[in-house]
Chain A
């Protein structure tokens, strides 16, 4: 894990010294044990980790990808699923985040049913609708133990206008698939407008900020021109 991070960071450091590459912060959230760590590790290191332990706080994984000739650094925030390991740092997860990946375990109905809670958490941290979200059902190699049907998941994803992917971080044949999921996100982010910080740094309160943005749209000066 460490080595892969170092590898990717050093890669980015050497390839683009002056005009630094764009960076996409993507957070991966979901219940504990759904395979967030495996998924991100799979994407960044290309293989399934031998053994993982509960993530504490957050782990960062970075990978430089090439989209249409532009080198882009994808910074994955592998967040802790257990409440006690994440409670004090949730606000940092959502700060200036560019995309959100919701993960559930297809063999665990509870992890699917708690998705609304995760979406609600996103909403509470006032993520705008412009922030892309995707839904990933993990562990679909365990065909016999599937508890969450694709149709149910698809319906849910549709109702929250998110694309759904079912994949397995473990299945060696799915390597391209995991990569494709994150590449999709990256493409989507790249096709968006050039990124500006969505929040003023240091502003913990979000309500007035949003108000101000609305006001800017309306034009506060009141001139009738």
Chain B
């Protein structure tokens, strides 16, 4: 029995383990079987003992009953007879027992009632819980339904989103393409606008030129009429007076030139004797100049802007100043006489205004990478050409301080750069033994002439180029054929060349301290100019003609300016004491009024006669 209990408890324990429940059940049955079996086999052995024991037990029981019966009858007799009090005692004892039992049963009844009540309470609680559970279940059902509904909605919204996204993507794509189109259109629009403005600009230029042509045609017409009218007049003065406004560039200019040729250099004396004639001639010149200012820039042909009637020999220094940071190599007056340019080793060209006997700085032109070796103005005075140590020539317009062109191609320093008679072209001479011709419109070299020796200076006439060389020769080149047509030997290195304004004479300066004037028509005729004390300061000392061609000027190594008279061949004057070092270059204003000299120690001196 104990084993069974143990098995039971094992079964209870095993019951916890649901997984092993079935196997435990099996085991249980098996063990029970085994136990029963043992029980049976062992019981058999003791069966007899047990049976006999039971008989014995029954017999003893009977005997007790018999004896009790005997004694009982005896006792009952005793009670009835003798001891009434023991009976009462028994009754009271029973009564007590009955009372006890009653009490117990009352208690039990009470407990039953209580328990029943508890059951009722529990029932009601259960019922309540059941009701609640029903309700919760109902609620759950509703919530589940709602959940399903919501899930459906989620799906729906998701689908909607997908559609929207697709639409959005499509729109975005379209937007991109539209944007692209817009950008393209914008670019096209701006291009069209640019084109339109370009066209309008051309139209404006055309209109302007048409207007100009018209005005010019009108003027020409008027001029013709006036000329025919003027032919009838005899008195010249009145004839001039009758032309208050028209320009007569060609005919009047020629007349003036003829007059000038006839009179040679008599104008100075003429000014004292017959001011009236001079007045009228001056008027002619002015008109001529005005005429030039009208058309000279458009025509490529060179037209001298001003012709000096009489250069005045300077006698005193008006203004001395240190014009540059370093030595000054070149100086040149513009054709408008009161504009001066100086160029120095400090790489800049400075512009100076000559007014009230002073040089006033008007600005500077940068662009050269090395020192400036020579400067030239074009005849209109609006453009500047300079040669530089940096193997190039530079070209500026005066309204712009940056160079318009840089002409590069020489392999050594450029010693000189000059305008050709046709203003479109420029000639440069260089230490690399070449002379190059450049086209300004294309900013390109159009011709290179091998000149055999270091070229120190170059000048141009209409059809030929003249170059001066370190091998003591001046060479003439036909600019069309690029061949040397003539050589003029000198006694020293040629340092500079200058051509007379009338293009008839050539001046050279050479290291044999001698200036030579060569007549360009008869090159055999040469005249030398020397002076005591005149000494050529360096290999690039510049000597010049005065603007009327009557004088020569050059600076000496001793710091004095020497001026010779071409006609007499004598030294006209010597201006010492203002420079402290060797003079590199001099320039004479076109009006003949001023001379400027510059030296190696960066000083510039303005000279005049008053």
Task: Name the interface residues of A78-108: CB closer than 8 Å to any CB of B.
Answer: 84-85, 88-89, 92-93, 95-96
In the complex, the answer to whether A200 meets B381 with C-beta atoms within 8 Å is: no
Given A57-B196, A92-B208, A225-B279, is A201 in contact with B298 using a C-beta cutoff of 8 Å? yes
The yes or no answer to A128 lying at the interface (CB within 8 A) is: no
Rounded to whole angstroms, the CA-CA distance of A96 and B197 in the bound complex is 21
Rounded to whole angstroms, the CA-CA distance of A19 and B218 in the bound complex is 7
In the complex, the answer to whether A201 meets B297 with C-beta atoms within 8 Å is: yes
Neighbour of A202 across the interface among B298, B398, B399, CB < 8 A: B298
Neighbour of B297 across the interface among A22, A202, A220, CB < 8 A: A202
Neighbour of B339 across the interface among A85, A205, A211, A222, CB < 8 A: A211
Q: How far is the CB of A21 from chain B (nearest CB, A)?
A: 9
Closest to B285 in A: A221
Task: Name the interface residues of B325-376: CB closer than 8 Å to any CB of A.
Answer: 334, 336-339
Interface string of B290-314 (1 = CB under 8 A from A): 1001111110000000101110100
In the complex, the answer to whether B398 meets A96 with C-beta atoms within 8 Å is: no
Interface string of A53-65 (1 = CB under 8 A from B): 0001110100000
Q: Which residues of B contact A143 (CB under 8 A)?
A: none
Given A19-B221, A203-B297, A225-B279, is A216 in contact with B289 using a C-beta cutoff of 8 Å? yes
Rounded to whole angstroms, the CA-CA distance of A195 and B245 in the bound complex is 9
In the complex, the answer to whether A220 meets B382 with C-beta atoms within 8 Å is: no
Interface string of A7-19 (1 = CB under 8 A from B): 0000000000001
Interface string of B187-212 (1 = CB under 8 A from A): 00000010011011101110111011
Task: Name the interface residues of A158-211: CB closer than 8 Å to any CB of B.
Answer: 193-197, 200-209, 211
Q: Which residues of A contact B298 (CB under 8 A)?
A: 200-202
Neighbour of A88 across the interface among B201, B285, B592, CB < 8 A: B201
Rounded to whole angstroms, the CA-CA distance of A23 and B215 in the bound complex is 8
The main secondary structure of chain B at its interface with chain A is helix
Given A60-B203, A197-B215, is A204 in contact with B399 using a C-beta cutoff of 8 Å? yes
Given A96-B208, A204-B397, is A56 in contact with B197 using a C-beta cutoff of 8 Å? yes
Interface string of B206-231 (1 = CB under 8 A from A): 01110110111111011000000000
Q: Which residues of B contact A200 (CB under 8 A)?
A: 293-298, 380
Q: How far is the CB of A33 from chain B (nearest CB, A)?
A: 18
Rounded to whole angstroms, the CA-CA distance of A207 and B334 in the bound complex is 13
In the complex, the answer to whether A209 meets B293 with C-beta atoms within 8 Å is: yes
In the complex, the answer to whether B197 meets A89 with C-beta atoms within 8 Å is: yes
The yes or no answer to B591 lying at the interface (CB within 8 A) is: yes
In the complex, the answer to whether B204 meets A57 with C-beta atoms within 8 Å is: yes
In the complex, the answer to whether B245 meets A193 with C-beta atoms within 8 Å is: yes
Rounded to whole angstroms, the CA-CA distance of A190 and B462 in the bound complex is 44
Neighbour of B201 across the interface among A25, A92, A194, CB < 8 A: A92
Q: How far is the CB of A153 from chain B (nearest CB, A)?
A: 30
Rounded to whole angstroms, the CA-CA distance of A118 and B375 in the bound complex is 39
Q: Which residues of B contact A96 (CB under 8 A)?
A: 208, 211-212, 215
Given A57-B204, A197-B294, is A75 in contact with B382 using a C-beta cutoff of 8 Å? no
In the complex, the answer to whether A222 meets B196 with C-beta atoms within 8 Å is: no
Closest to B293 in A: A200
In the complex, the answer to whether A95 meets B208 with C-beta atoms within 8 Å is: yes
Neighbour of A212 across the interface among B219, B336, B399, CB < 8 A: B336
The main secondary structure of chain A at its interface with chain B is loop
The yes or no answer to A215 lying at the interface (CB within 8 A) is: yes
In the complex, the answer to whether A196 meets B247 with C-beta atoms within 8 Å is: yes
In the complex, the answer to whether B203 meets A225 with C-beta atoms within 8 Å is: no
Q: Which residues of B contact A223 (CB under 8 A)?
A: 271, 278, 282, 309-310
Task: Name the interface residues of B226-243: CB closer than 8 Å to any CB of A.
Answer: none
Q: Which residues of B contact A84 (CB under 8 A)?
A: 193
The yes or no answer to B286 lying at the interface (CB within 8 A) is: yes
Given A221-B591, A225-B278, is A215 in contact with B337 using a C-beta cutoff of 8 Å? yes
Given A58-B203, A208-B382, is A220 in contact with B398 using a C-beta cutoff of 8 Å? no
Q: How far is the CB of A105 from chain B (nearest CB, A)?
A: 24
Rounded to whole angstroms, the CA-CA distance of A195 and B211 in the bound complex is 12
In the complex, the answer to whether A208 meets B381 with C-beta atoms within 8 Å is: yes
In the complex, the answer to whether A58 meets B382 with C-beta atoms within 8 Å is: no
The yes or no answer to A69 lying at the interface (CB within 8 A) is: no
Q: Which residues of A contact B278 (CB under 8 A)?
A: 223, 225
Rounded to whole angstroms, the CA-CA distance of A10 and B343 in the bound complex is 56
Q: How far is the CB of B77 from chain A (nearest CB, A)?
A: 156
In the complex, the answer to whether B212 meets A197 with C-beta atoms within 8 Å is: yes
Task: Name the interface residues of B123-182: CB closer than 8 Å to any CB of A.
Answer: none
Neighbour of B211 across the interface among A75, A196, A222, CB < 8 A: A75
The yes or no answer to A123 lying at the interface (CB within 8 A) is: no
Rounded to whole angstroms, the CA-CA distance of A20 and B218 in the bound complex is 7
In the complex, the answer to whether B380 meets A201 with C-beta atoms within 8 Å is: no
> Which of B201, B204, B212, B309 has the most chain A CB within a 10 Å cutoff?
B204
The yes or no answer to B275 lying at the interface (CB within 8 A) is: yes
Task: Name the interface residues of B12-33: CB closer than 8 Å to any CB of A.
Answer: none
Rounded to whole angstroms, the CA-CA distance of A89 and B282 in the bound complex is 39
Q: How far is the CB of B226 from chain A (nearest CB, A)?
A: 11
In the complex, the answer to whether B591 meets A220 with C-beta atoms within 8 Å is: yes
Q: How far is the CB of B489 from chain A (nearest CB, A)?
A: 39
Rounded to whole angstroms, the CA-CA distance of A108 and B207 in the bound complex is 32
In the complex, the answer to whether A20 meets B214 with C-beta atoms within 8 Å is: yes
Closest to B196 in A: A56
In the complex, the answer to whether B336 meets A215 with C-beta atoms within 8 Å is: yes
Interface string of B566-592 (1 = CB under 8 A from A): 000000000000000000000000111
Q: Which residues of A contact B592 (CB under 8 A)?
A: 221-222
Closest 5 CB pairs of A and B: A57-B200, A205-B399, A92-B204, A202-B297, A89-B201
Q: Could you list 25 examples of A-B contacts with CB < 8 Å?
A: A23-B215, A25-B211, A57-B196, A57-B200, A57-B201, A57-B204, A92-B201, A92-B208, A93-B204, A196-B215, A197-B212, A200-B298, A201-B212, A201-B298, A208-B336, A208-B398, A211-B338, A211-B381, A212-B381, A216-B289, A216-B290, A220-B306, A220-B590, A223-B282, A225-B271
What residues of chain A have their CB less than 8 Å away from a CB belonging to chain B? 19-20, 22-23, 25, 56-58, 60, 75, 77, 84-85, 88-89, 92-93, 95-96, 193-197, 200-209, 211-212, 215-216, 219-225
